[in-house]
Amino acid sequence: MRLFGIETEYGITRDDVAEVDPVVESMELVRAHLEASFKRRWDYAGEDPHEDARGFRVSGLQQDREEDEFATRDAHRPFSFHDMKSDLVLPNGARFYNDHTHPEYSTPECRTLKDLVAQDRAGERVLLRAAQRRNKVLGGDHVRLYKNNTDFHGHSYGCHDNYLVARSIPFPNLVAGLVPFLVSRQVIAGAGKVGTEAQESGYVPGRYQLSQRADFMEAELGVDTMHNRPILNTRDEPHADREKYRRLHLIIGDANMCEYATALKVGTTQLVLDLIERGAAPVCELDHPVTAVKQLSRDPDLKTVVTLRDGRKLSALDIQELFCESASRIFSGTDEEIDWLLREWSEALSLLSQDRSRLVGKLDWVTKQWLLESFMREEQIGWDDPWLASLDLEYHNVHPEQGLYLGLEAEGKAWRMTTDEAIEEAMWNGPTDTRGGLRGLCVQRFPDQIKSMQWERIQFTGGIRSRSLDMGDLFDPKEVRECAHIFQVASSPSDALAAWSHRKDRAI
């Protein structure tokens, strides 16, 4: 089952005030997207962060206390919880809302890497246009947005990749197969970072490292996402039929600017999940994964080796090559996209050890390192110069005239999987073969007849009986397209639901 998506929390600030209230600014940014008043539609009933995939429910999370403190402070604000969240579903099926201190854009569910990258890039444009509207109100170009994962003051915000996984796969198998892959994945998916940090402690200028999130990993497994962050998040929130599926919600990943890195990050992870499902993942469990993720991140020369439980000592490239070789042996020839992915994965790992300059514009940490080292030579400064942290931040600025990465892209120095036209299209339409696109279609066609929405269900207004479209098991692309066609031609949600119910009855 290939279905994935990316949730990105953006850093937000203003340059015209001494102190920014990120809660208010994030809310105002999301509201700036609207052309009408905010209407509460998002249904939180399907969200329970206390359910653990290891088969139990935790009584409390470390972040609960922080949420309570937020609630106390927010009680004095002149708006309700739902007003503050301003949870929107966009015409492409994406979710755009205020995740308390950060604007967050969640792509609709995607089935292909090309769709995923376009939808992820569409998120950058959605936020940019919202910022432009907000700046008109403020009277200047004051709001700045960063697609990164640290504020360089000990606070990290996430970029979460999500995968639909069969619940029949034993969770211990996912742990054994995924943890070493995720610890080493930063060699292809790291966003790069100057200096080091730790949770809510000071930033220390210094040498370059591969990942922005590695500093903040504190546990191998766990359900907390804001404190004691785990390499493998065990939150069990399937947003689908719980008897059949899990949603693997990974919080270790960096936010990528490079389209190539985004495609490799998600594509290789999906292949590793396929390997685990077949019982074909290489055996390479790490002795100390939390220590290893930091050690590997802090060595841009990629020479560091970590110890496995069977005594072997391998580098991050060694581990990635084991997974790449296993996937190539089993999945070569499956389809055009997988063949592309296997070829590029192998090529990237080879270039990292031989000629990484050919990965500038493809991998973020390589691209950023090349930019910063060019600047350091020109200005004759070292890695401990605080100037570099500000340049690091501007690499991720989503404004095309301010962002260093987007500047490279405009000069034709970044590899593209999408086009500007494809990104614009993705802002208005979701994938046609997933429920994400269907969700967006309902927003386009019946915006005033939607009572509530969540990932797996849409509740429509009117009538005595409940009128809802249940998408908890709607993953077959043919079925999705048939359902979408019904909603495309129906004159009302009621007619569409009746036709869809009739079609399903005939199929039994």
Which residues are marked as active site? 99
In whole angstroms, what is the distance from residue 410 CA to residue 402 CA? Answer: 12
The Cα-based distances of 383 to 207, 251, 366, 386 in angstroms read 5, 28, 15, 8
Instruction: Give the DSSP letter string of 400-427.
Output: TTT-HHHHHHHTT-S--SS-HHHHHHHH
- Beta-bridged to residue 208, according to DSSP, are 194
Strand partners of residue 160: 7
Find out whether 47 and 237 touch, Cβ atoms under 8 Å: yes
Cα separation, 264 vs 341, in Å, equals: 7
User: For residue 249, is it left (φ>0), alpha (ψ between -120 and 50) or beta?
Assistant: beta
- Residue 106 φ then ψ, to 5°: -110, 120
The three-state (H, E, C) secondary structure of 243-311, written as one string: CCEEEEEECCCCCCCCHHHHHHHHHHHHHHHHHHHCCCCCCCCECCHHHHHHHHHCCCCCCCEEEECCC
Q: What is the residue whose two structure tokens read 């034709």?
A: 412
Query: 474-478, long-range: CB within 8 Å, 24+ apart, which pairs?
Result: 474/435, 474/438, 475/1, 475/3, 475/164, 475/240, 475/434, 475/435, 477/111, 477/433, 477/434
Tell me 433's DSSP state.
Answer: T
Q: Are 200 and 218 in contact (CB under 8 A)?
A: no
**Among candidate residues 91, 77, 93, 90, the one with its CA nearest the CA of residue 27:** 77
194 close to 370: Cβ distance less than 8 angstroms: no
Token pair recorded at residue 167: 């619940």
Helix (H, G, I), strand (E, B) or coil at 444: helix
Distance CA(502)–CA(495), nearest Å, equals 11
Pull the structure tokens for residue 154.
């000990």
Q: At what angle do helices 171-189 and 259-277 cross, to 10 degrees?
A: 160
179 three-class SS: helix
Neighbours of 45 (CB within 10 A): 8
